[in-house]
């Protein structure tokens, strides 16, 4: 496997520590959580105690001022255990960065320490029942009334929603703005705010234990002090942060592909048919060789992008390529590997069956793969 040159000895020590924590606190319980349909809230407190929540934040907020290499290692190790742990990178590297980049000094002091301790789980409310990729078409409004915004509307497919305490909600503070995206703002809404209701956990095909719900807002009064950054700048803030979010999805996708391939290589060496291991048949060998080659190429490309991201380069085009290509590749790998497992690939006791349920949504969230291709086309001047 291609090595990541940006990872140093301290990252290897961190990986060992993360893996040890997951082996003890997560792996023995993960299948039960999948059956129960929920990761326990207490895991967040344990992650906080272990220093695994937002390790990149400054020490004054409970972080370790760690570089993105630490996030990279953590995302990899979580994904190796199971895709339903995606809520942790979502909190660490997608939602909390909004608070850090656009929050005032007072807001940072108010919210960030609880995000590193595990006291507060964060989520972002973008998608609505009637809107998916067309963010400018959102209907949720936040109308200023004195010192408060009055919020009305609903959101769906909200990851970390059930356990969530802090929600970065995409609203229209100026519903009449032209073009529409110039009326979008970001408000931080706390879970116990009157009129803010969490719906029941959504019954998903995969990511069974990851808590995804709907949210509704009925005349929810949110202090003006909870506005993130400037009113009307929300759309631009979202665009600025999407590079990292999509990179995280790409990292998880390649790890899932690698893990599935690893499981399948072990299986085909042991499973026999017609008196010999099924891995000795040329067709199966060629299938696995082709998949392994694509995964190796994908890993090399991804590692180069992570390094460029750490160096604060703008790699929106390349990250969009990685997000769409690696999630499609992971789907291809999982599909082929289920086939190579035969009937056992359809059995719950085999991890490959779970992987086959979990990976398809990665081509949909953080911007569909079709949207990724549109972004790339624009960057190519088309």
Which residues are annotated as catalytic?
245
For residue 34, give every residue at least 6 positions away whose Cβ sits within 8 Å of its Cβ, in sequence order, or none. Answer: 82, 84, 208, 209, 354
Distance, in Å, from the CA atom of 124 to the CA atom of 234, rounded to the nearest integer, reads: 12
Separation CA 319–CA 244 (nearest Å)? 8
Which of these, 18, 4, 116, 3, lies nearest to 75 by C-alpha position? 18
Q: Strands, DSSP E only, in 191-247?
A: 196-198, 212-223, 227-228
Spatial separation of the C-alpha atoms in residues 341 and 326, rounded to whole Å: 22
Work out whether strand 212-223 and strand 141-145 pair parallel, antiparallel, or are unpaired: unpaired
Beta-carbon count within 10 A of 345 CB:
20
Cis peptide before 179 (omega within 30 of 0): yes
Rounded CA Rg of the chain: 21
Q: Are 56 and 68 in contact, with CB atoms under 8 Å apart?
A: yes
């Amino acid at each position: 496997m291609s090595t990541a040159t940006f990872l140093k000895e301290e990252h290897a020590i961190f990986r060992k520590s993360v893996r040890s924590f997951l082996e003890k606190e997560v792996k023995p319980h993960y299948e039960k959580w999948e059956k129960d349909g929920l990761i326990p809230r207490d895991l967040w407190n344990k992650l906080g105690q272990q220093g695994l929540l937002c390790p990149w934040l400054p020490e004054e907020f409970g972080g370790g001022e760690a570089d993105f290499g630490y996030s990279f290692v953590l995302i990899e190790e979580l994904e190796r255990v199971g895709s339903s742990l995606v809520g942790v990178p979502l909190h660490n590297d997608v939602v909390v960065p909004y608070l850090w980049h656009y929050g005032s000094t007072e807001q940072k002091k108010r919210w960030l320490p609880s995000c590193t301790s595990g006291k507060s789980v964060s989520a972002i409310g973008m998608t609505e029942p009637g809107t998916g990729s067309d963010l400018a078409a959102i209907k949720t409004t936040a109308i200023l009334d004195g010192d408060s915004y009055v919020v009305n509307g609903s959101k769906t497919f909200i990851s970390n929603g059930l356990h969530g305490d802090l929600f970065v909600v995409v609203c229209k503070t100026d519903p009449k703005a032209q073009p529409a995206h110039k009326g979008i703002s970001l408000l931080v809404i706390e879970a116990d705010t009157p009129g803010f209701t969490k719906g029941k956990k959504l019954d998903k095909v995969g990511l069974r234990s990851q808590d995804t719900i709907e949210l509704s807002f009925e005349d929810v009064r949110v202090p003006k002090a909870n506005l993130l950054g400037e009113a009307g700048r929300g759309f631009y803030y979202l665009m600025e942060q999407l590079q990292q979010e999509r990179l995280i999805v790409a990292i998880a996708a390649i790890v899932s592909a690698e893990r599935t391939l690893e499981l399948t290589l072990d299986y085909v060496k042991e499973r026999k048919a017609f008196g010999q291991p099924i891995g000795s048949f040329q067709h199966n060998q060629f299938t696995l060789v082709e998949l392994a080659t694509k995964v190796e190429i994908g890993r090399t490309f991804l590692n180069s992008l992570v390094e460029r991201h750490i160096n604060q380069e703008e790699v929106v085009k390349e990250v969009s390529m990685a997000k769409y290509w690696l999630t499609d590749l992971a789907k291809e790998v999982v599909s082929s590997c289920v086939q190579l497992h035969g009937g056992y690939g359809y059995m719950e006791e085999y991890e490959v069956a779970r992987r086959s349920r979990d990976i398809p949504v990665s081509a949909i969230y953080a911007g569909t793969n079709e949207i990724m291709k549109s972004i790339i086309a624009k960057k190519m001047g088309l």
